[in-house]
Structure 1
């Protein structure tokens, strides 16, 4: 079949790869001039095979009053009179109770494990370079209460086959010596030795080049999709804003926040809202962590990508297209500098990033055929876990198309 993949972030490029590997003719389309320019451009870089916890959770429910009152620096909600936004918010809160949170989390973990297996196959076939390595990850907990709750989650994940370990601060410092000078509270940590990391932008660009060079995929960049044509309920073409329609047999939409421009043809897009995040990337310095870190209290994720150190965080639920907020970025910098001052205090050079991560109320991505048009599929809504879930989602969408 001739298949268009709309969106060239990690999910779109991964989808194109697995569709092409199934012997389809694939056209990869993106409004940007090259792959990986959206949410993939500055993500946390962590491939959290054993994390995958849904954002709507009992822990977040406890903090909800502070968040709604604007007293939680890691989260910000800007209310607006929009039916889709209000419905999304109500559904998000409905997913916070413990039972729903665990159902969502266990589903995400299964998808993450599928991604892990597909990543191993991809690395064996392509040998592309994107600073991939199994770095392990430490979740840092500030108090005994949080650590006790984490113990219960570890036991659940172990029953699913995931390797996680509860460590004291001293044990965590043995795993990552940089924690000896960490300026945040650490009552203990959850260690996941098998978690990995990698440069998502390099993945998008290297894999796209590989697919094009092998004749598996054709690239159509700098082109914005306006909608889809159909004949008797069957997709027939992808409409572009500045050229003739592309005749195709099927299309997979993986676009990030721009997916809302396609809601007329893809009603499932109404179930997705953008959650804005920020990141700061600086040159790696001696003494910086090599193991990935997640500060549970401050909602910060640290990752060393080659010779760069990145911190990512914040979750702003606001109007699509709100753009970079210097004050919010300042909060990220301030908190990162407070806990790792030797790494983030007046770096010689830095890369600042902000982007919208499309998310469903349950944190589970939508991987499904469109309700409105045969031959049209959606693979979107991964939120903060797009990099982790990309290849597993791609495998599922390829199976659906088949």
Structure 2
């Protein structure tokens, strides 16, 4: 395959993983981001969980049944701010259309296939590159407050087992043998789904460390603190990347992997119409004694807990609102209050709590978008990963690199 000059726009986990795949193929890669360093967007404060066996699509029958409570603002974990924006309304209708049982499983199966590619790619990367990002196979426990909720998971667990994934239904006592910190968990737990092969890692550290490796060993160029505004063409073929604050950059190809910022490039990339930003929040604090080692997800409260080295992270909330939203102090306080209600001792020892909020680019189906622009030859996209960007980044990068190679 001939060496090409390729700009990768976005230095979050998807963009950095894509740059890694392209650099290994021998291409001349320029990694571009509007921020000052890699991993500063959604990668900076995500839940840290690599959910290789639990990548369930967000639009689901369970969420559909809960929709009236969400619409009326009675669910603390989900919040919808209604808008007459046609883009928002179309996205919402398509989201609801994906919530039926058949579509939900089709979407989930597609995500699980990508997650398996990601898992294999991560193993290959770790065998090749000496990266320090607190990665470990922590396993994960999804905690259920009711017997009915746990029982409803049996068909899905069976389906995943038939795909070769390891998942087990456990009682609370059995889950506590795996994670003794559950003795101190003050929320109701009747049982759990255990996924032993899911992993955890610091996504932002991964972005910084892998970028540094690419610069040192593959000679990639980085262009940080520069905002992309569009693309110049010669006929229908991409000629250059255009910026707000510097001269155009001539390239052979470009990949948009800029998360929700891809919506700023709709004029050149109409495929980004299929995503909408969903805002999430997280808290990161020093990990005291008694911090869970296994990653936990409290299903009823929609909270994710993960130990990352000597830190502990709590992530949650899904706010679907008009674009351009900002950090909401009240929402972050609600997250902390809920987390304290189930694990109070983890917060009592410190006031050093780092609060974060960011937008995740979600498709109605939860399937990432990987493809070629229909308007511009040479322009590609790898967007729409939603809450699963960390899990799926290496898998979608592999698919994108293979597409370019074809």
Q: TM-score, normalised by structure 2?
A: 0.98
Q: Distance in 2 between matches of 1:225 and 1:159?
A: 45
Q: Deviations over 1:222-250 (max 9, x none)?
A: 01001001112111110011111111111
1:96 maps to 99
What's the CA shift for 1:346?
6.3
Which residue of the other structure, out of 365, 375, 387, is the alignment partner of 1:372?
375
Which residue of the other structure, out of 155, 158, 165, is the alignment partner of 1:155?
158
Give the 3-state SS of the residue equivalent to 1:327 in structure 2: helix
Structure 2 residue 180 is matched with structure 1 residue 171: no
What's the CA shift for 1:124?
0.7
Which residue of the other structure, out of 138, 144, 153, is the alignment partner of 2:147?
144
2:251 maps to 248
Q: Is the 8 A contact 1:235 1:373 kept in 2?
A: yes
Which residue of the other structure, out of 104, 119, 133, is the alignment partner of 1:130?
133
Q: Distance in 2 between matches of 1:173 and 1:202?
A: 30
What's the CA shift for 1:215?
3.3
Which residue of the other structure, out of 69, 73, 77, is the alignment partner of 2:72?
69
Q: Is the 8 A contact 1:379 1:397 kept in 2?
A: yes
What's the CA shift for 1:347?
2.5
2:272 maps to 269
What's the CA shift for 1:179?
0.4
Q: Distance in 2 between matches of 1:159 and 1:354?
A: 37
1:1-400 → structure 2 map (5 Å cutoff): 1-345=4-348, 347-400=350-403
What's the CA shift for 1:279?
0.1
Q: TM-score, normalised by structure 1?
A: 0.99
Q: Is the 8 A contact 1:40 1:387 kept in 2?
A: yes
Q: Distance in 2 between matches of 1:300 and 1:260?
A: 28
Q: Distance in 1 between matches of 2:310 and 2:45?
A: 15
Q: Deviations over 1:198-242 (max 9, x none)?
A: 000000000000000113311010010010011121111100111
Give the 3-state SS of the residue equivalent to 1:194 in structure 2: coil
Q: Distance in 2 between matches of 1:64 and 1:316?
A: 14
The gaps in structure 2 that reach 5 residues or longer are none
Q: Distance in 2 between matches of 1:142 and 1:350?
A: 27
Q: Distance in 2 between matches of 1:150 and 1:382?
A: 24
Q: Is the 8 A contact 1:333 1:344 kept in 2?
A: no
Give the 3-state SS of the residue equivalent to 1:352 in structure 2: strand
Q: Distance in 2 between matches of 1:370 and 1:400?
A: 12
Name segments (4+ residues, structure 1) moved above 3 Å.
Answer: none
Q: Distance in 1 between matches of 2:47 and 2:274?
A: 24
Give the 3-state SS of the residue equivalent to 1:236 in structure 2: strand
Q: Is the 8 A contact 1:16 1:28 kept in 2?
A: yes
What's the CA shift for 1:371?
1.2
Q: Distance in 1 between matches of 2:146 and 2:40?
A: 38
Q: Is the 8 A contact 1:278 1:332 kept in 2?
A: yes
Give the 3-state SS of the residue equivalent to 1:358 in structure 2: strand
Give the 3-state SS of the residue equivalent to 1:214 in structure 2: helix
Q: Deviations over 1:120-142 (max 9, x none)?
A: 01001111110000000000011
Q: Distance in 1 between matches of 2:251 and 2:262?
A: 19
Q: Distance in 2 between matches of 1:345 and 1:230?
A: 57
Q: Deviations over 1:298-344 (max 9, x none)?
A: 00000000000000000000112211001100110000000000012
Q: Deviations over 1:65-103 (max 9, x none)?
A: 000000000000001111110000000000111110000
